[in-house]
Structure 1
Amino acid sequence: MKKIRYPFDLHGTLSIRYRDKVNPIFLDTDDDNQSVIDIDDFAVRSFSYDSEDRLLKISLQKALNLTEIADCGTVFTGIELEQNNIKLDIVYCLYNAGIISSSISYPLDDASPIQSIAVAKPLTLHLK
């Protein structure tokens, strides 16, 4: 399957730390129950260009499949949690040739299986 081509290249990574007894499916974690996701793994939901302000607005989304691990410590006895969507919005200014705004949307309350989300490698955007 061919990848859709966009007029920009995004680079950078996000670090996601999961709560105890929560394990992502298809993602590797380190000893701190944390995984690093490349921005290339996110799907582009939409992008638009405002020619008056010279702003490129990009909305990305990544779905994570998570399981809650039982006390025996195996994934196969875990309960699959609802699909969790992380949304990332980026605003790129063509006049300054840089990202001027980025926001990560995900509910990080006490019931959330994700403990924290942070930028591990700075986000960069290059126009084609």
Structure 2
Amino acid sequence: MHTTLQNSGPQRDYTVVFDPGEEVVQGLADFARQEELGPASFAAIGGFHGVEIGFYNIDTRGFDHIPFPYDQAEVLSLIGDISPGEDGPTVHGHVVLGCPDGAARGGHLLRGTIRPILIVTVEEMSHAVPSHH
């Protein structure tokens, strides 16, 4: 992972570039911990191989896993937030994945291994975003 601080004002902005084989959810949490980020939002594009997505089940208060049958996926859109907490940062992302046949699938990003690259913009916010789950 390579990071560049784009704005060092009260709400910092970063560009984070993930390398092949890195995992994005844990990587963003580690980055937030290292930089001592406050609440932040992020957006990304790139590619995954080995991805897990889910749908939040309000009745069970957990994620139903959505099968993703392809080894490679294009990240058409990945948006979310990072919330600091006593146990460390929590990364909450929603993703739309492009499939080889042109179809798209989406859901909560549970895990994603980068291939070939993922470029993320992270913007620190002035206030926390309330959790909806």
| TM-score of the aligned structures, taking structure 1 as reference length | 0.29
Question: Which protein has the bigger helix share?
Answer: 2
Q: Which has the larger radius of gyration?
A: 1
The normalised TM-score by structure 2 is 0.28
Which structure exhibits the higher relative contact order, with contacts defined as CA atoms closer than 8 Å and separated by 6 or more residues?
Answer: 2
